[in-house]
Structure 1
Amino acid sequence: MPGITREEVAHLGRLSRLELKDEELDHFAGQLDEIIGAVARVAEVATEDVTPTSHPLPLTNVMRPDVVRPSLTPQQALSGAPAQEQQRFKVPQILGED
């Protein structure tokens, strides 16, 4: 596999609007070459018999049944409210809408 050239790194730098020095071009060319080699090795892995998955473990939702339980009445819930209207908390208007 041919390595990444300084010219290709300089081109990527221009596309990214990065000003790269000569020593950075050499340094990044080596690093990018190693990265591309590592990605190529991953692509060589035999995966024909592996089924695609989105998660390594099976996921199940743990839900409790919806059970009606005793709770506060509207009057009890609103008993400490500074203002209420139509069995609701009344708050100051902030958006200027009706």
Structure 2
Amino acid sequence: MKKRNKFKHFLYLILALAMLVYALPLISFKEGWSWASAFGVAWSLFAFLVIGAHLHYLLGVDEEKQKTLERIRAAKLREWQLKWPEDTQRRQENM
């Protein structure tokens, strides 16, 4: 499942790069700033944002964070499980 998910991100990255390579030469600044050139710049910035997001996922920047969070969750679960028998014992003593 994980390989398919990464393949999807890789495919979208390639598509975004292809669109950007096609569109960048068509943006013209010869006549100064116009609505068309402003739209082209905004579109290019969004395309770079999409490319950056897919690269971020593909390079696995979040995997290290996920592993750290998983270790913290496991430690908290162990603490809770150790504390739980004490709580049940207290409840039984209070009855």
Give the TM-score normalised by structure 2: 0.31
- The structure, 1 or 2, with the larger RCO (C-alpha pairs under 8 Å, 6+ apart) is 2
Give the TM-score normalised by structure 1: 0.31
Work out which of the two has the higher radius of gyration on C-alpha atoms and give 1 or 2. Answer: 1
